[in-house]
Structures are given as structure tokens and as C-alpha cells.
Amino acid sequence: MQALSDGLANAALARTRAGSRHVLGVSVVREISSDPRMLALAAAYLGPAAVPYRATLFDKSRASNWLVVWHQDLALPLTERTADPAWGPWSTKAGLLYAIAPARALERVVALRVHLDDSTASNGPLRVLPSTHERGVLDDAEVQRLASTIAAVECVCPAGGVVAMRPLLVHASSKAVAEQPRRVLHIEYAPSLEVLPGVNLAIA
């Protein structure tokens, strides 16, 4: 984790208030994403050919504090547009093409969240609504209804630990109330860069 932290600190990252997107091009991130232990974790959900395609650094502290409301992760980076009406709306983020994806594509993805720091109840950990990834793509009203009826679980985790989650899982995070930072490297994997026939993920 120290080597990963140092590599990220020395990289020329475009930072937002929440961290940095599209960091798979950073050498230390590329290395850990292809570490046999990470690939074995991804393979447990996706099969033996799991490949990393996107990485995001979340960097939360009292100095850069933020919250995320209940939501699902629905946008995927693509190499080009598809005429399939199941994809979209479309957007561009940091120069890459994105589309809101159908459930059948998102079900083929898993994220492995590598914790560079201890994630505790006081530094804004990931919170999830268990089993909601099995319900497909939800509208905002249904997300809020589930948030009011399902008991949330806090995903606290020590530095060096990994939390696996599906993008369709309804999740959120609170602001930190402690000084301790909470940095998480969120790496996403799919069984193939061709996430559906004729639709290819972009490396981000």
C-alpha cells in the first residue's frame, strides 16, 4: 500500500474534489490491477478471463470532504457509440465516451476496492443496501424507497483490504467526521473488453 500510495502521489493526476478518474494508465495502478491476487478475486465473480478496464482514486479527508447519495453506478466507458437503444444517454468524461448501460452489461462487471487507508465508521466509509444488485437498473424513486426500507451496511475495511461490489448495488457514503483520510482505489473488471456483442469497453 505504501508503494501504491507513493506511485499515485508522484503521478501527474488530474484531480477533482473527490479524487482522480481514469488512473489505470498509472504504472503502479496497472501493476496492482493485474496482480494475481486481484485477478483471482475478480475471477471468482467473472470467470478466469477477467480483465481490468477502469480505475478511479477516491480521496476523502476532512480537507476534501464529500458525500455521495444513494445510487447505482450505471455509466460505462466505451470505444465508440452503438445504435442499440438500450445504451444511453451518452456523455464525455475527461475525453472518454460514456453511456448509461443496460443491466445485462452491468451484471458482467465487478469492482474491487483497494483500501490505501483504514476505512472506519468515522471517515466516510462505503455504505450499501444488501442484495439490491439483483434488482436490475432502478429509477430514483425506487432507489429512495429501498434506502428507506433496507438496513444499510457499512463496509469498513483495514488498509490493504479489498471490498468487492457490483455496480448495480445501491450504495452511498457519508462525509468524514474524523481527521483520518480514506483513500480507495476502485478498479473495475469485466470478463472481456467486449462487454456485449459489438460493444467494447474503453480502457480508463
CA distance 72 to 152: 14
Residue 182 contacts residue 124 (beta carbons within 8 Å): yes
Could you report the per-residue pLDDT of 65-93, keeping only the tens digit for each? 778 999 999 999 999 999 999 999 999 99
Q: Encode pLDDT of 9-19 as tens digits.
A: 899 888 777 78
Mean pLDDT of the chain: 94
**Is the distance from CB of 76 to CB of 102 less than 8 angstroms?**
no
Nearest to 5 by CA among 123, 173, 182, 187: 182
- The arithmetic mean of pLDDT across residues 98-127, rounded, is 96
* Domains of the chain as residue ranges with CATH: 2-73+108-196 (2.60.120.620)
Taking the CA of residue 71 as centre, how many other CA atoms within 13 Å lie in the half-sphere pointing to its CB? 8
**Residue written as grid cell 476532512:** 62
Rounded CA-CA distance 135/89 in Å is 21
